[in-house]
Amino acid sequence: MMGNILLWLIVVPLVGALLILTIPREYTNVIRSLAGLTAAVALVLSLVLWGMFDRGAAGMQFYEQLEWFTLGFMQVNFEIGADGLSVPLIALTTIVTLFSIVASFTIEHRVKEFYVWTLVLLTGMLGVFVALDMFLFFLFFELTLIPMFFLIGIWGGKMREYASFKFLIYTGLGSGIMFITFIVIYVQAALVSFPDPMSFSIVELTEAYTEGAAAGAVGGAMKGGMFLALFTAFAIKLPVFPFHTWLPNAHVEAPTAASMILAGVLLKMGGYGLIRVGFGIMPDQAARFATLIAVLGVINIIYGALLALVQTDLKALVAYSSISHMGIVLLGIASITEAGMQGAIFQLVSHGFISALLFFMVGAIYSRTKTRTISEMGGLSHSVPVLAGFMLAAAMASLGLPGMSGFVSELMAFIGIFGAPAEILPQAVTLGVIAVVGIIFTAAYLLWAMQRTTFGPPKEKYAGLVDAKPMEYVPMVGLLAFTILIGVYPFILSDVINTTVIDLVSKIGG
């Protein structure tokens, strides 16, 4: 047990948070370094995990199960494990969190609490990606809610309180739906397997619903309802149109570091949950609702892009671009092909890096220009060439420039959708074509925004701005490096996820 690296991953940030609690609040530099150190240790652990992970094996690795508590016939376990779906997301989480902690070294207001909450958030996020018991999964999912509420509400922009409450209620509602559905899924299976005990284990439930007793015994209408409810729950987090309205508020008001984590990791929990629980447990329902998911994906891509096009606030533009990009995840998932599923996971990881970088750039520029209004910027390439350059690079990555990670994930998702089996997704080609057209809008809003902010004649008022500081190079270079790494050498990622994806898709197809 003590040797389980996943357990250490969850515990380390918590220990870091507790250590920070013991430090007097005046020692801000000690607190900052300790927070950075904790995140770095977590990052190292996740890289060790990456190295130790057996690429060839399907199923869970680093598996651990401990009895937690029982209630009547219900058994809740502390059950953790990782497969090719969770390992990349664990790495993404630690990387983005470390960079966001570095990016927040400039925060001077209530430093101690800021890092305590960030590290608690890190625990919650890692917990979601390693939990294999639905109850535990839910606990960690909810645990991320509280720190993010505080991060937005205390360190956010002008409308922070409104944004934090909107975030709380929306995602809380998602969690509520999720919890009810989990219990329904569990109770249905437990009734079938009665008198044999049933745990909340995702692995066990997946087996029960795909091959075991519950596969035939639970009715189609019930399963359909459960799948749609689960989809709604995760759709709020991802977010999927029409449940996306919390996102622009939360992203725009959140402090830079929180925006990075929010877009970089928290949204991915929605996609992860959808694949792990929704597709894992009810693959037949995933196939049944593939068209619906694909249509929503296309709506997300186009609607998000159109809204991004009309934004006047640079941060809001990036926020809406997240909605648009999450549409690609849906599209890839809905194709139910290996390529599409890989594309979806690639997109989760790739967008994690790119959106974190974009939000960091917006934050860095805002701290200098004191405005995020696009029309008031302009000529930044003259006044802050390095920042403008990195921002341009991030925008290029976001619109899917070949050689960067966004391109790989979009390409694979589209290969998936065009190759989708006709009996599952009859309108695949039509949807694919519409989505590709939607991608053009992405290029449009990003290029137009870059033109208005970085290019153009230099503005008088921005003449004296200081360009990138050494500390800012760390997140900029780091995040961009990962984007390019995945872009030019996608094998590094596909190697890890491949076996799991093949395993997953074979269940849906069959």
Partner 1 sequence: MLAFEATWSLMTPEIVLGALAMLVFTIDFMTGIHEKKPFIGRLSIFSLLVTAVLVLVMNPQGGQIGDTFLVDPFAMVFKLIILVGVALVIMMSMNYLDRNEDIYQGEYYSILLFTALGAMIMVSSADLITLFIGLEIVSISSYALAGFKKHNIDSTEASIKYIVLGGTASAFILFGMSYLYGLTGTTSLYEIGAAMPELFADYTVMIMISLLFMLGGFGFKVSMVPFHMWAPDVYYGAPTPVTAFLATVSKLAAFGIIIRVFTLGFESIYAEWAFIVATIAAITMIVGNFIALTQQDVKRLMAYSGIAQAGYILVPIATVLNNFSITVIIFYSVAYIMMTLGAFSIITLVSEQSGRKTGMDTFAGLYQRSPYMAVAMAIFLLSLAGLPFTAGFIGKANIFLLAINGNMLWLAIIMIVTSIISFYYYFGVIKQMFMAEPKPNAEEIKVPGGIQAVVTVTLAGTVLLGILPNLLLDLFTGFNWMI
Interhelix angle for 405-418 vs 385-399, to 10°? 10
Q: At what angle do helices 428-453 and 290-309 cross, to 10 degrees?
A: 20
Q: Read off φ and ψ for residue 199, nearest 5 degrees.
A: -105, 175
Q: Name which of 138 and 241 has its Cβ closer to partner 1.
A: 138
Establish if 137 lies at the interface with partner 1 (CB under 8 A): no
Using rule CB under 8 A, residue 303 touches partner 1: no
Taking the C-alpha atoms of residue 329 and residue 258, their distance in angstroms, rounded to an integer, is 22
In whole angstroms, the minimum distance from the beta carbon of 69 to partner 1 comes to 4
Closer to partner 1 by Cβ: residue 85 or 116: 116
Binding partner 1 (rule: CB under 8 A), the pick from 30, 107, 184, 477 is: 184
- AA letter at 405: S
Please state the three-class secondary structure of 413-464 as a single string.
Answer: HHHHHHCCCCCCCCCHHHHHHHHHHHHHHHHHHHHHHHHHHCCCCCCHHHCC
CB of 150 to partner 1, least distance (A): 7
Residue 135 found at the interface with partner 1 (CB under 8 A): yes
Is 266 a residue that touches partner 1 (CB under 8 A)? Answer: no
Contact 63, 121 (CB under 8 A): no
The stretch among 68-76, 238-246, 254-262, 279-287 that binds partner 1 (CB under 8 A) is: 68-76
75 DSSP β-pair partners? 70, 199
23 binds partner 1 (CB under 8 A): no
| Contacting residue, 157, 172, 389, 456, with partner 1 by CB under 8 A | 172
Q: In angstroms, what is the C-alpha Rg of the chain?
A: 22
| Residue number with CB closer to partner 1 (140 or 234) | 140
Q: Is 173 in the site for partner 1 (CB under 8 A)?
A: yes
* Minimum distance from residue 78 beta carbon to partner 1 (Å): 11
Residue 179 binds partner 1 (CB under 8 A): yes
Pairing relationship of beta strands 61-71 and 74-82 according to DSSP bridges: antiparallel
C-beta of residue 65 within 8 angstroms of C-beta of residue 131 = no
Q: 1 or 422: whose CB is closer to partner 1? A: 1
| Short-list 164, 214, 215, CA closest to 187 | 214
Nearer to partner 1, 149 or 407 (CB): 149
Q: Using an 8 Å Cβ cutoff, are 273 and 237 in contact?
A: yes
Using the rule CB under 8 A, give the single segment among 166-174, 253-261, 388-396, 401-409 that binds partner 1.
Answer: 166-174
**Residue 142 in the binding site for partner 1 (CB under 8 A):** yes
* Shortest CB 143 distance to partner 1, Å: 6
DSSP label at 384? S
| Spatial CB neighbours of 458, under 8 Å, sequence gap ≥ 6 | 379, 382, 383
Candidate segments 134-142, 242-250, 425-433, 463-471, binder of partner 1 by CB under 8 A:
134-142
List the one residue from 15, 40, 145, 228 that touches partner 1 (CB under 8 A).
145
Nearest to 240 by CA among 287, 202, 289: 289
Total residues at interface with partner 1 (CB under 8 A): 33
The least distance separating partner 1 from the CB of residue 180, rounded to whole angstroms, comes to 6
Decide: is 7 part of the binding site for partner 1 (CB under 8 A): no
Binding mask 146-165 for partner 1 (x = CB under 8 A): x--xx--xx------x--xx
Distance of closest approach, residue 187 Cβ to partner 1, in angstroms: 5
To partner 1, the closest distance from the beta carbon of 478 in angstroms equals 31
Name residues whose C-beta falls within 8 Å of residue 31's C-beta, 6 or more positions apart in sequence: 20, 23, 25, 111, 112, 115
Q: How far is the CB of 166 from partner 1 (least distance, A)?
A: 10
Out of 99, 129, 138, 241, point to the residue binding partner 1 (CB under 8 A): 138
Interface segment toward partner 1; rule CB under 8 A; list 65-73, 237-245, 358-366, 459-467: 65-73
Q: How far apart are CA 401 and CA 86, in angstroms?
A: 26
68 binding partner 1? (CB under 8 A): yes
- CB-wise, 21 or 471, nearer to partner 1? 21
Pick 104 or 500: Cβ nearer partner 1: 104
Q: Which of 29, 48, 69, 312 binds partner 1 (CB under 8 A)?
A: 69
CB of 1 or CB of 71, closer to partner 1 = 71
Q: Segment contacting partner 1 (CB under 8 A): 132-140, 401-409, 414-422, 465-473? A: 132-140
Task: Name 49's Cβ contacts closer than 8 Å, sequence gap at least 6.
Answer: 5, 6, 9, 62, 82, 87, 90, 91
Q: How far is the CB of 186 from partner 1 (least distance, A)?
A: 8
* DSSP SS3 for 99: helix
- The arrangement of strands across the sheet holding 198-199 comes to 61-71, 74-82, 198-199
Q: Is residue 139 within the footprint of partner 1 (CB under 8 A)?
A: yes
CB of 348 to partner 1, least distance (A): 24
124, 143 in Cβ contact below 8 A? Answer: yes
**Which residues are CB-neighbours of 233 under 8 A, at least 6 positions away?**
174, 175, 177, 178, 181, 273
> Does residue 35 contact residue 107 with C-beta atoms inside 8 Å?
no
Q: How many CA atoms lie within 13 A of 119 on its CB side?
A: 30
Q: Does 180 bind partner 1 (CB under 8 A)?
A: yes
Site residues, partner 1 (CB under 8 A): 68-72, 74, 135, 138-140, 142-143, 145-146, 149-150, 153-154, 161, 164-165, 168-169, 172-173, 175-177, 179-180, 183-184, 187
